[in-house]
Structure formats: C-alpha cells, structure tokens
Amino acid sequence: MGNSVQETVARRCCCLSSVSVFLWDPSTENARPRVRCAACSSWGGAASRFLTGKYFYEERGILSMANEKKVAREPSFLLALIPIVAMIGFMLYCFLGHSESGYHDAHMPLVMSIVVACIVGHFCGHDFKDMLAGMIERLSASMEAVLILCTVGFLVSSFMASGAIPSLIVYGLDLLTPKLFLPIGCILCAIVGMACGSSWTTTATIGLAFLGIGAGLGINPALTAGMIISGAYVGDKFSPLSDTTNLAAAVAETGLFDHVTAMVSSTGPTLVIALILYTIMGLNIDASAYDPTVAQSIQDAFREAFVISPVLLIPIIVVIVMCILRVPGLVGIAISVATATIFMMIFQPTSIYGSRALGDIFNMLHNGIVVETGNEVADSILGKAGGMNGTMWTINLILLALAYGGALERCGCVERLFGGLKHRIHSVGSLILATLLTSIFCDATMCDQFLGIGVPAPIYADKYDELGLGRNMLSRSLEDAGTLWAVMFPWTGCGAYQTGVLGMSPLVFFPYAFVNLLNPVYAYVTALFGRNIFWADGSYTNIFGKTKAGKPAGAPEEAHAKALANLEARRAAGKAPKINA
C-alpha cells in the first residue's frame, strides 16, 4: 500500500466506529477503493459507484465527482471532415443546386453546418453546453468588429448624405481617358471601395458603369471585370469600414488601424504591379470607339441631387488621418461620422435627409437615405446607403460564421485537420504560406470569406507569438488570401454574387484580377526572404531588409509578452533581424 491514499471519513462500521478509506492503486483505471474499520480492523469493499481515479474522498462521507465532464477525444480525420463536407453540400445546393427563385444566402447553410458540428462534437464527448461555450468564446473575441460594423452603417449613410462619396465619384470620372481607362478605372474602384467599405457595392455601382464604358471601347469584358475586381478589393481591404477588415483585426485580436497599416505593405506593392500591367494593356486599346456619355450621365445625376465640392472630400480625409494616427476603430469612425454629419447639415439641402431636427438625423443614420436621380447607376450607388439597418445582413452572416468556426474549434475538427501542419512550422516564410493556403482552403471548401478569415486565425495565432511576430502580421495574412481569393471560386458567396453582378464566372475574369491573383504570392515570397515583416515590438523589416523601430500593434497582453520574449530569444540566436540604427 505504498501508493495508497488514506482519508478519514464519517462513515460507520457495524461496530459503530469510524472507518478509513484506502486507494490501493490509484494509477489503475477504475480500481475499487476498500475501507477498513479504525477500531476492529475489518475490511470491506466500497460501493461500485465509488470508483477510484476520478473520485475524491472527503470528510462527511465518500463523495464522487458526479459532475465531472466526460473526457472528450479528438475526432478522427474522416469525422473531422464531416462538418466541412456538410458546409460544402449546403452551400452548393443554395447557390448552384436549384432555381433562381429559391434561397441563395449563406446564412441557413451555416446554421445547418453548426448543427452538424455540434453532432460531431457530441460523438467526440462534448455536450451541448461545451459546444455552446466554444461558439460564445469565438463570438466574444470578435464583438468589437460587430460593433464597428454597426457604426459603419452610420458612416456610409453620413458620407453619402454629406456629398462626400458623390463628390469623389464626380471628380474621379473626370480623370478617365481611353488609353488610361484600365489603370484609372482600377484606381477609381479602389477609391470608391475605400470610401464605402464594400467591394460588393463598388462592383454593383461604378463597376457596372465601367463595364459599359469598357464595352464601348471594345475592351475584352473579362479584362474590364478583372480590373474592377482588383480595384474594388483593394479599396475593401484598405477601408476601416469594411466588414472583412474589421473581422480580420478582431479574430487576430489586434487594432483595426494596426491591421490596415499592415495591409498596405503587401497590397500596396501588388496594386502598383497591377497598375503597370493594366497600363501596358491599355496602351494597345483603340480609342476611336470611346463614348464619354456614360460617365457624363452619372456625373450630371449626382450634380442635380447634391452640392458637389472639393471641400466635401474632407470627411474622407478624416478617415485616412484616423488610420495614420492609429486611433481606435470605434473612436475613429465616431469622429468621421460626426464630421460628415456636420458637413451634411452645412452644405446639402434638407430634401436629402429630411430636416436638421435630431430625429431626422437619427433616421438618416439608422435607416439611410432615399434619393432618386433617374440615372440607374447613380441610384444604385445611393441605394447602398442603408444606415445601420443596411449592415444587419452582413452582421448576421458574420455571427453565424464565427459560431461555426467556434464549433469546429471546440469539437477538435480544426486541430485534427491542421494541427499536424502547425507543429511542422519553424520559420516565418512557412508560417505565412500555411496561413495563406489554409485561408484559401477554407474559402474553397467552406464557401465563405468570413470563414476563410475566421477559421485559420485561432489555429495559427500562438505560432505567430512563438516566432515573435506582430498580431497585425496574422491579420494581414488572413486578408491577403482569405479576402482576395474568396471571389475566385464560383461556388462561394462572393463568387456567386460577382457572377450575378458582372455577368461572367470568376473563372473567366480570374486571369485578369491581378491584385487578387498576385497578392498572396507577393506576401509569401517577401516573407520567405525575410522581408516585409511586422515584429511583436513594432519594428518592421522592409522590402530592402532594413528593420526600423515602430509602435507595437495591438495584441492580448499575455500573448504580446510571450511574443516579445520569443522575439528577443530569436534575435539573440540570430534567427530574427535586429533593429537598424
């Protein structure tokens, strides 16, 4: 009985004396404890419910850990695939499997996939409360992004009502020339995308106008569509108003403007490369067929409905300043909304927003504005200013996507599918490649960009800390692939939407969407050679290999401390660059 455990309990023997409980071999699974009377030394076996190994013996009796959770196990590889396969099946059915009069949103496939993930979790030993806790944990980590998305609705409406976005479009269209249609069009799509925070809105509005202009120039429609997609997604990534931008920052647990700043380092150079390619292709275009009336009609429609002035671009400049100063997301958006609302009240007629009464201003921010110009493209752009209510569809989808990711993580599917890969990563280049490929895999198999961002984040977050990287490096990598490649698959939500808007499959315009196509490649190649890297202490290794000091990106306190310690150790070992004087 050398390893036995003895405790006195308030249990009586037949001689009315106390007894003691002995665990003969605690290491033996389900070994039965035996009791010995302290007075008469008689032995007896404990009841079958008092099994050792998972039970404690306390004063006042032998008490079992009745509430101890069932031991969970990791799912097999095939079992881990079931929620993924279910998601693919539900998404394909909704987007490709039935008539146009049916259901074509991603929400219900996500709901059903959550149910499937919970069932898989049950077979792996997780009860529903445990699965729910996993979903809530993932949702809690992203609630700031949801709150920011609510305020983004305010921002889009106030920017539209103030005349900031209409002025931007009017002046931007003045820059169009036949030979420079492709590069200028890409830049304008990026500007509009950044202003409204949505690639979908950009393609459905000014993108459609550019399709018409491109057709008049005799340009291959696939080339024009690729240019539109490139510009729209650059604007979407750079915009603090974008849902994916906010989501990536939230799941990586870094600051919104820290994330935006990091994205400039990969998407900015890629945009320059794309513009060079579009310029070369545009110089070979025959300009004789150019019809300027399409752009002119859009400008006239905005000028009739709004006061157009360069001064009205100030609210957009305020947003850019907020990014540069790295003001917290909610604070920066609140300042921008206040600025745009003041400009609206000063410059625009009350016919746009009702009156200067507080109730009408609240209504504009909550429900958006309704302005009809008679021009189809202009009205389509204005129709996107739906206020906070206009963001509810996206917020619902994000909440469900996060819950699905949390369920996959809790039941062990994510770790089972990707955990082995993570443990083989020992360099920054391989980590960036793994993140990019995982995001693309999630885009293709889970059919949604929110899952392409949300699912990989918890898999690799601790690995970024282990290599001494900033959390904005994680958020940047998630968007470099998760956002930009989601549109490349016809069966994803993004791909299906753009197919409907542009009138062609992503497989057709894919070769010409240079930003989307090249951005993950650029991000990986530069990281492979130790360039373009943000470190945990805020230092940044630029494309020339020089490491300059900077302000650390936002991160959880414990994770940041761990990343700093690991960075110091790697620098001491010569595995990370030291800051240049």
pLDDT of residue 70: 55
pLDDT of residue 91: 77
Banded pLDDT at 373 (limits 50, 70, 90): confident
Q: What is the mean pLDDT of residues 15-25?
A: 43
pLDDT of residue 2: 44
As a whole number of angstroms, the distance between CA 368 and CA 233 comes to 24
pLDDT of residue 19: 42
pLDDT of residue 250: 86
As a whole number of angstroms, the distance between CA 209 and CA 294 comes to 7
Mean pLDDT check: name the lowest of 56-60, 196-200, 337-341, 392-396: 56-60
**pTM to 2 decimals?**
0.66
Q: What is the mean pLDDT of residues 53-63?
A: 37
Instruction: Count the residues in the chain.
Output: 581
Phi, psi of 546 (to 5 degrees): -90, 135
Q: Does 248 or 383 have the greater pLDDT score?
A: 248
Residue 491 in this model has a pLDDT that exceeds 80: no
pLDDT of residue 51: 36
Mean pLDDT check: name the lowest of 82-91, 198-207, 231-240: 198-207
Q: Which amino acid is at 289?
A: A
pLDDT of residue 472: 92
As a whole number of angstroms, the distance between CA 52 and CA 534 comes to 52
Q: How far lies 573's CA from each of 25, 366, 427, 569, 581, in Å?
A: 47, 55, 13, 6, 19
CB atoms within 10 A of CB 540: 20
As a whole number of angstroms, the distance between CA 525 and CA 207 comes to 31
CB atoms within 10 A of CB 423: 9
DSSP assignment of 152-167: HHHHHHHHHHHTHHHH
As a whole number of angstroms, the distance between CA 65 and CA 5 comes to 17
Residue 277 in this model has a pLDDT that exceeds 80: yes
Mean pLDDT check: name the lowest of 128-132, 240-244, 360-364: 240-244
pLDDT of residue 527: 94
Banded pLDDT at 71 (limits 50, 70, 90): low
Mean pLDDT check: name the lowest of 21-30, 373-382, 484-493: 21-30
Banded pLDDT at 408 (limits 50, 70, 90): confident
As a whole number of angstroms, the distance between CA 386 and CA 351 comes to 17
Q: What is the mean pLDDT of residues 518-536?
A: 94
Residue 539 host element (H or E): none
pLDDT in tens, 375-395: 877 787 777 677 888 778 777
Q: Does 142 or 6 have the greater pLDDT score?
A: 142
Strand 547-548 and strand 540-541: the pairing is: antiparallel
Residue 57 in this model has a pLDDT that exceeds 60: no
CA torsion sign for 402, 403, 409, 412 is negative
Residue 549 in this model has a pLDDT that exceeds 80: yes
Q: Does 43 or 129 have the greater pLDDT score?
A: 129
User: Average pLDDT, whole number, for the chain?
Assistant: 80
As a whole number of angstroms, the distance between CA 243 and CA 493 comes to 14
CA end-to-end span of the chain, whole Å?
A: 67
The structure tokens listed for 310 are 């360069």
Strand partners, 9: 19
pLDDT of residue 53: 37
Residue 353 in this model has a pLDDT that exceeds 90: no
pLDDT in tens, 421-434: 777 888 999 999 99
Residue 29 in this model has a pLDDT that exceeds 50: no
Contact between 128 and 118 (Cβ < 8 Å): yes
What percentage of the chain reaches a pLDDT higher than 90? 28
Q: Does 273 or 214 have the greater pLDDT score?
A: 273
pLDDT of residue 204: 65
pLDDT in tens, 101-142: 567 777 888 899 999 999 999 988 888 899 999 888 878 866
The structure tokens listed for 133 are 């806790």
HEC letters along 77-128 = HHHHHHHHHHHHHHHHHHHHCCCCCCCCCCHHHHHHHHHHHHHHHHHCCCCH
Q: Which residues of 98-116 are buried (b: 16+ CB within 10 A; e: fewer)?
A: eeeeeeeebbebbebbbeb
pLDDT in tens, 279-296: 999 888 776 666 677 778
pLDDT of residue 60: 35
Residue 476 in this model has a pLDDT that exceeds 90: yes
Residue 62 in this model has a pLDDT that exceeds 70: no
